Chains A and B, each alone.
Chain A
Amino acid sequence: MWYWLHRFSSPAYFYRFAGKATPWLAAITGLLLLAGLYGGLVLAPADYQQGDSYRIIFIHVPSAWMSLFIYVVMAAAGGIGLIWHIKLAEVVAACSAPIGASFTFIALATGSLWGKPMWGTWWVWDARLTSELILLFLYFGVIALQSAGEDKRTASRASAILALVGMINIPIIHFSVEWWNTLHQGATVSKMGAPSIHTSMLVPLLIMALACKFYYATSLLMRARAELLEREHNSNWIRDALKNHG
């Protein structure tokens, strides 16, 4: 397994592997998305309270999950890059940040669209909304630091430290926001506490979550390939890879 890991982390091998895997992952993403959307928008019944507008959860909830998941992946990859100086881990961390920020933004935007008919307002300073917004700021910080340096490797390592510091802070921020909110008002929390979800809604939700995971993988591999080409443009394996390509 170590042998495999070692080989996989070499940019040349990864570049070839990612090139082969991307179409497959993209196809799986497409299929899952179609299935999830069909299940969510057509098969699942309307909610007895919220009508059809609840259907936004099929994109909202998976994006919210992804926003945290990608941050963890980014921080872990950044940490690996810092400790073992693995170039590929730095690339993965760098490429994850924009995807994670997009998911966070989608979660916020769809939540706000849903909040208007349901809560009667676009924005509430609810604990979850606030911590999601702060997560978006943390992503922006990582992206900004990444693009600020002239040397890409130094910038990656700096933003890896920032991501790790953010990782320690996420639970602290989350709990302090929650605590702050409960001291102010608690109404929105009980509005969030929906009755346990029915299978006909749960299955499409899980399929959509899986689709988002595969979308992330696809997009990460594509971005990582482009990033590798840019970072390693002087190395031999790129010359060979491009030659083979024609």
Chain B
Amino acid sequence: MAVLSRDLLLALRRRSEVVNPLLFFVIVVTLFPLAISPSQAVLQTLAPGIIWVAALLSTLLSLERMFRSDFEDGSLEQLLLSPCPPTILVLAKVLAHWLVSGLPLLLIAPLLGVFLALPTEAMPTLLITLALGTPVLSMVGAIGVALTVGLRRGGALLSLLVLPLYLPVLIFAANAVAAAADGLIVTGQLYFLGGLLLLSCSLAPLAAAAALKISIH
């Protein structure tokens, strides 16, 4: 809990780090109508994919913050030495990361949906997929950051490691939103996303904790 509130406080003190990925998310989404076509019909079919790809990229942008600064000033080492089990520590870190970078995406997504002419019926689904999917992105991303935090040029490597692992989330989430826009039932996709969330919550902290130990060593 202490780690969680500390991370949140740190994020509050450095607001630009929180705001930048969010602005990135908005800007990437606005690139697509300019690059492809402003036509409502085209945008409507592309909207779920665009929003989700942009969410993936902006999560990727903010991932490094999860462990990097703590690693550099040595506090990560102290945290791992503390009696608190490392999996709980990772869980707190991931939760803080999601609250700072995932939740804002959720709040701003409806606006972008309107930008991209997404039908209003699909809005709830968009929000639900983001609510279920972005924590998975933070969870799986934690493994990637934990693996690369000890390396000097970890940034590009991180995307190479993490993006293939993000594909199931992307497929189901974007598909659910597209199906909802067509007026179809999407419970199957949502259950699958929920399953991914549970799986990543239970296994990712273990892998990330093991990876952190290796990186610190």
Q: Other than A149-B151, A172-B168, give 6 A-B pairs with Cβ distance below 8 A.
A: A137-B163, A137-B164, A141-B161, A145-B148, A176-B168, A176-B172
* Interface residue stretch chosen among A13-21, A159-167, A190-198, A233-241: A159-167
12 contacts between A and B (CB under 8 A): A134-B164, A144-B160, A145-B147, A148-B153, A158-B211, A161-B214, A164-B207, A165-B207, A166-B164, A173-B167, A176-B172, A177-B167
Chain A residues in 8 Å Cβ range of B163: 137
A145-B157 contact, Cβ under 8 Å, with A157-B214, A161-B143, A161-B210: yes
B187 nearest CB across to chain A (Å): 14
CB of B168 within 8 A of CB of A137, answer no
Residues 145-190 of B contacting A (Cβ, < 8 Å): 147-148, 150-151, 153-154, 157, 160-161, 163-165, 167-168, 171-172, 175
A38 to B114 CA separation, bound complex (whole angstroms)? 63
Checking B150, B171, B214 against A180 with a beta-carbon cut-off of 8 angstroms, the contacting residue is: B171
A164 to B206 CA separation, bound complex (whole angstroms)? 12
Residue A94 CB within 8 A of the other chain: no
Interface string of A133-163 (1 = CB under 8 A from B): 0100110110011001100001001100110
Residue A187 CB within 8 A of the other chain: no
Residue B45 CB within 8 A of the other chain: no
Residue B196 CB within 8 A of the other chain: yes
B129 nearest CB across to chain A (Å): 14
Residue B15 CB within 8 A of the other chain: no
A190 to B94 CA separation, bound complex (whole angstroms)? 43
Residue A168 CB within 8 A of the other chain: yes
How many A residues have CB within 8 A of the partner chain? 27
B198 nearest CB across to chain A (Å): 13
Residue B203 CB within 8 A of the other chain: yes
Residue A169 CB within 8 A of the other chain: yes
A176 to B167 CA separation, bound complex (whole angstroms)? 8
Chain B residues in 8 Å Cβ range of A169: 164-165, 168
Checking B154, B161, B196, B217 against A172 with a beta-carbon cut-off of 8 angstroms, the contacting residue is: B196
Chain B residues in 8 Å Cβ range of A179: 171
Q: Of all chain A residues, which has the CB nearest B144?
A: A162
Residue A183 CB within 8 A of the other chain: yes
Chain A residues in 8 Å Cβ range of B167: 134, 173, 176-177
B106 nearest CB across to chain A (Å): 22
Chain A residues in 8 Å Cβ range of B214: 154, 157-158, 161
A185 nearest CB across to chain B (Å): 14
Residue B44 CB within 8 A of the other chain: no
Interface string of B117-153 (1 = CB under 8 A from A): 0000000000000000000000010010001101101
CB of B171 within 8 A of CB of A161, answer no
CB of A166 within 8 A of CB of B165, answer yes
Chain A residues in 8 Å Cβ range of B192: 176
A169 to B162 CA separation, bound complex (whole angstroms)? 11
Q: Which among A148, A157, A168, A169 has the greatest number of chain B C-beta atoms within 10 A?
A: A148
CB of B164 within 8 A of CB of A173, answer yes
Residue B215 CB within 8 A of the other chain: yes
A157 to B211 CA separation, bound complex (whole angstroms)? 8
A96 to B95 CA separation, bound complex (whole angstroms)? 36
A88 to B140 CA separation, bound complex (whole angstroms)? 29
